[in-house]
Amino acid sequence: MALGSVTLRLYIYSGTEGSYSDADLKYTLSKNIISGQSNIVLEIGELVRDYLDVTFNGTYTSSAKWVAAVVTYFDTDGEEYTYSSPETFNYIALDGYGYFEDGINPELQRHALISADNIYLPEGTAGKLPIFAEGVGKVRIDSSDTEITDNGNSNQKIQYITIPADSSTIQVYDTDDTTLLKTITVNNICEPKFTPYKVVFQNKFGALQDLWFFKKTTESFNVTDETFKRNIIDSGTVTYNLDETQNQRYNVNAKTKLTLNTGFLKENMNQTIEELFLTENAWIDYGGNVLPIIPVSKSMTFKTSLNDRLTDYTIDFEFGFDKINNIR
């Protein structure tokens, strides 16, 4: 009997693969086959994404979740197939994205979760490198090896390896510990004049990535308000006081904006800058606090050593909250 319909039960959960319970059931979908087609397509990516919370408070943690898609198949008479139903598909989910030219449902790289081959850090400052633990056996920083272990828990899938201060080279190896997958150069920047600021953002792999801005920083703010015209006449004396305003201001608030400059970068950092422009989540270590920010620069021209000789970027950000606390 031909395939007629399917029912999909979608479980999204933390922990180890297969450890879901009824409480982890997030969606139940049913769909009939379209006439003339031989298969049924269900899109679950946007549904899963609702349960992938990327947060940062100064601590780097894995945002990965397990997904179990349990599919029950029915024939055109509505009878369940007994030889292949239900069928369970297990996935590890990260909140990343591919580009159009990557094709449908691309699987992103399974080792170092950054695009560039360079990392910039202030001199004397440690950093973080996000890796996908399933695909990495060890990380060698200069001559020191860090063995990567993965116990299968979702909180182990993205791991953030500490880059010691003043390191120079990072090598990421496959699970066989011998196949070199990626080499990253660490550039340690001495900045004697300006205060460097660290921006942490969610990159295309769904991992948190650091990007330091070394040069000039400016802070500004834009005020919004409303006014209404008051009646200030004292009906008893039929006079008014000169110290009372006729045009009353209300709903006053402001948005603070930061303009940051990267300083000079190597050309292969262009993709990192692009991912920062495209991010939905970003934070800055500012004034002793980790604060959410939003990139408000909406256009970018790629700089190259051929066209521009030196590559640097100035980017505008806005804090992700109002200046006056109006949370009720």
Residues contacting 214, CB < 8 A, separation 6+: 120, 122, 189, 191, 194, 196, 261, 262, 263
Asked whether the bond before 130 is cis by omega within 30 degrees of 0, the reply is no
pTM value is 0.91
The structure tokens listed for 117 are: 């081959």
The residue type of 323 is K
Which of these, 196, 166, 201, 195, lies nearest to 272 by C-alpha position?
201
pLDDT at 3: 86
Work out the average pLDDT over 49-71. 95
Bridge-based pairing state of the strands 180-189 and 118-122: parallel
Between these two residues, 156 and 310, which has the higher pLDDT value? 156
Judge whether residue 308 has pLDDT over 80: no
pLDDT at 149: 94
pLDDT at 55: 94
pLDDT at 66: 97
The structure tokens listed for 318 are: 């806005």
Judge whether residue 328 has pLDDT over 90: no
Question: Is residue 301 very low, low, confident or very high in pLDDT (cuts 50, 70, 90)?
Answer: confident
Question: Is residue 255 very low, low, confident or very high in pLDDT (cuts 50, 70, 90)?
Answer: very high
Question: Is residue 2 very low, low, confident or very high in pLDDT (cuts 50, 70, 90)?
Answer: confident
- Indicate the average pLDDT of the chain: 93
Distance spanning both ends of the chain, measured CA to CA: 59
Question: Is residue 139 very low, low, confident or very high in pLDDT (cuts 50, 70, 90)?
Answer: very high
